[in-house]
A and B are shown apart, each in its own frame.
Chain A
Amino acid sequence: MKLNKLILSFISAIAILLSTSVVSFSKVVGDKIVLGAAISLTGKYSSNGVHTQNGYNLAVERINKMGGVKVGGKTYKFDIIYYDDESNPKRAAQLAERLISQDGVEFMLGPYSSGLTKAIAPVTEKYGVPMVEANGASRSLFTKGYKYLFAVLAPANLYLDVAIDLAVEKNNGKPVTVAMAFEQDAFSQDVRLGVLDAIKRTGSKKVIDDKLPKELNDMAATLVKVKQMKPDVLVVSGHTKGALTAIRQIAEMKVDVPMLAMTHCDAAKLSKQHGKNSQYALCASQWHKSLTYKDKFFGSGKKYAKDFEKKFKYDPPYQSAESSAALLVFKDAFERANSFDKKKVRDALAATNMQTFYGNIKFAPGGQNVDKPMVLFQVMCDGSGKCENKVVAPTKWASAKLIHPIPKWSER
């Protein structure tokens, strides 16, 4: 009996040992470069998680079709192992461990959201696995000195400071008054810091500085204050629900404000859900299909949007575009490194300087992309109530003229 137990525990010990210590081998199998990604396919980020995955998949398909990646005179194709992180940071970190130590993945793609990227980054850093991420914009990701993290998107603090500059410009260079309402999460608070910087830089004044709770679906109090204080700009950032709630209640309470700037209008499908009420809202976006960046894989933004629509039956949000761009960056880096050595690929990534349909990409030492400005688009509706997002700033990319100030509700 005792012997039986002993044998049993011996066997299980070996089993445990085997299962955890599978030798990690370079994950380039045959002609395939295997990338790993933990993505939120279920849970609260599932819709944006799917946008991310679609972006990755479209790029993989396109790159493979157009000749793949050439390293050392041989052609390789991309392949991605996906796991569902259930929108849960702990799970995401576990899955990153699993991808690296069990599946032997040596190159990672980012998850969706700043929070999950924050959970994964220490893991990839520990193993020295280069990660190109496309959906974590929080500033704190780029101040930790991570060496293996590269983000193709502009950091969160740059989302809305353009709007303050624009308001000052429209005010003939004179300072403006700003009302702010930001959700209490890492991303929105970063956006807030950027706005605060811009306020300081332009000598403007903040008159309201509200923090919105996570469960928010009523911001009437903030809007009443806005009515009373009459600021020049109202800035709102609280993910999709912040954008939707703001538009609904601004329309219902007839709040007149000369400029309204927000984030996440794309994801909120603002004009689709609110129609004409969303008119004149300014939205920060990483990308817009009308931008004139070009590359040889997707052509232009317009072409990307068309191909994406054909495959997935919906208009690509910027979350998809930036995810596709991440793979273009990887391909470029592999070819320049001409090797699958993690260190060499990392160095090649750090030296990236390229243009994609999504924008120019060049990484700062912290890993954020410093070569791509944010754009602001404005929701504009025609007489029949059909609304469209048109880029209004920066002027270089503008496809329409900013309507400012926003007409009063009594005159609409």
Chain B
Amino acid sequence: MDFMVFQYPMITVQACLDGLLLGILFALIAYGMALQWGVMNIINIAQGDLVILGGYIAYFMYLYGIHPAWGVIVSPIIMYFVGVGIYKLVINKVVDRDLFISILATFGISILFMQLMNFAFGADVVLANSGYGTTMLFDNNVTLPNSKIFSAFVSIVFAICLVIYMKKSKLGRAIRATAQNARAAKILGVDTEKVYAATFGINAALCGVAGALISITFTIHPYMGLPYTIRSFMIVIVAGLGNLPGVAMSGMGLGVFEEFADYILGTEFRIGSVFLLLVLILVYRRFKLSRKREYLK
């Protein structure tokens, strides 16, 4: 235990800002998960692997001399089609089934993706350099890498665009209708099959954006996907489905929580604390649920 983070106000500020910027990025991934969970009732274990795949797209652009920030545009386009492809091959066969089946199926996809990426891109840890420099605050006591600010900014832009798209466009309305009641939507002429494919594609595209940002701010590796899946799963559980402000808030909350856990418990418990929090939240929810049921009896 180390409470240094509270002893120096500058470190507290640094931890909060780092956490918020990180959390916004998490929220973007979680939003994708919430979307397709809500619409298709599928928990996508391969979420993190889609993120990493998106990261590799940006990395390869960087290798060929294109600035990796363009990955933010290119990666989602490619990933959209990857997502639709996965839907057509696997997900459409499990979409109406039990939740457990879909978890198994996406778990399989996750393993497949990990191995394929390892096979295709090698086992090296890689990153793309943006060369963005650093913003210094408070007399150089707090440093914010511009790449982190950039990624938070891009995440927000994409989230806003998506919300508007969901509200205004025809497909967006169809997606929301399907989420509310797939059967009724079908009767009223919505092609749910198409809606499902598009939803999965949009989710993959969001992962692509996030992946590109992660390759700019952190590092990517074929086996690094799972922590992102767990984080977004947790954010969605806390926020609930179809609650974008909630997803954003709990995403940022998780980011800050992680940073503080890092300072207080030590870096080795950073990811561990997220897992622990997940267990606690699940237990709490279960507890609350069981009380409600009893009440209903």
Contacts and interface: CB of A to CB of B under 8 A. Distances in A.
A215 B268 contact: no
A240 B220 CA distance: 11
Contacts of B224: 215, 217
Nearest to B134: A252
A27 interface: no
B95 interface: no
Interface stretch (A44-52, A355-363, A387-395): A44-52
A253 B219 CA distance: 16
Contacts of B11: 224-225, 228
A94 to B, nearest CB: 19
B219 A215 contact: no
Given A45-B123, A224-B11, A274-B129, A213 B221 contact: no
Contact of A240 (B125, B143, B271): B125
Interface string B185-225: 00000000000000000000000000000100011111110
Main secondary structure of the interface of A (DSSP, over half): helix
Contacts of A354: none
B49 interface: no
Nearest to A225: B4
A101 interface: no
Contact of B143 (A222, A225, A248, A252): A252
Contacts of B136: 254
Given A228-B8, A273-B129, A253 B271 contact: no
Given A219-B267, A245-B219, A47 B8 contact: no
A253 B218 contact: no
Given A215-B271, A217-B218, A220-B18, A47 B147 contact: no
A43 B122 CA distance: 9
A351 B30 CA distance: 60
A254 B8 contact: no
B125 A248 contact: no
A349 to B, nearest CB: 31
Interface string B134-174: 10100010010101000000000000000000000000000
Contacts of A239: 125
B263 interface: yes
B243 interface: no
Given A210-B266, A228-B8, A241-B221, A248 B127 contact: yes
Contacts of B143: 252-254
Interface in A238-255: 239-241, 244-245, 248-249, 252-254
A44 B219 contact: no
A241 B224 CA distance: 11
A143 interface: no
Contacts of B271: 213, 215
Nearest to A268: B125
B218 A245 contact: yes
Contacts of A241: 125, 219, 221
Nearest to B140: A254
B227 interface: yes
A212 interface: yes
A224 B142 CA distance: 9
A254 B123 contact: no
B22 to A, nearest CB: 7
Contacts of A211: 266-268
Interface in B115-135: 115, 118-119, 122-127, 129, 134
B268 A244 contact: no
B267 A216 contact: yes
B219 A217 contact: yes
B254 to A, nearest CB: 13
Contacts of B22: 218
B262 A221 contact: yes
B15 interface: yes
B108 interface: no
Interface in A316-337: none
A327 to B, nearest CB: 24
- A48, A211, A212, A244: which has the most chain B beta carbons within 10 Å? A244
A87 B268 CA distance: 23
A266 to B, nearest CB: 12
A42 B118 contact: yes
Interface in A194-250: 210-213, 215-222, 224-225, 228, 239-241, 244-245, 248-249
Contacts of B85: none
A262 interface: no
Contacts of B219: 217, 241, 244-245, 248
A224 B5 CA distance: 10
Given A211-B268, A221-B15, A273-B129, 18 more contacts: A42-B118, A42-B119, A44-B118, A44-B222, A45-B123, A46-B122, A213-B267, A213-B268, A215-B227, A218-B270, A220-B259, A221-B267, A225-B4, A239-B125, A241-B125, A241-B221, A244-B125, A252-B145
Interface of A: 42-48, 87, 181, 184, 210-213, 215-222, 224-225, 228, 239-241, 244-245, 248-249, 252-254, 267-268, 273-275
17 contacts: A43-B123, A45-B123, A46-B118, A211-B267, A211-B268, A212-B268, A213-B271, A216-B270, A220-B14, A220-B18, A222-B267, A224-B14, A225-B263, A228-B11, A244-B125, A267-B124, A274-B129
Interface of B: 4, 8, 11, 14-15, 18, 22, 115, 118-119, 122-127, 129, 134, 136, 140, 143, 145, 147, 214, 218-224, 226-227, 259, 262-263, 266-272
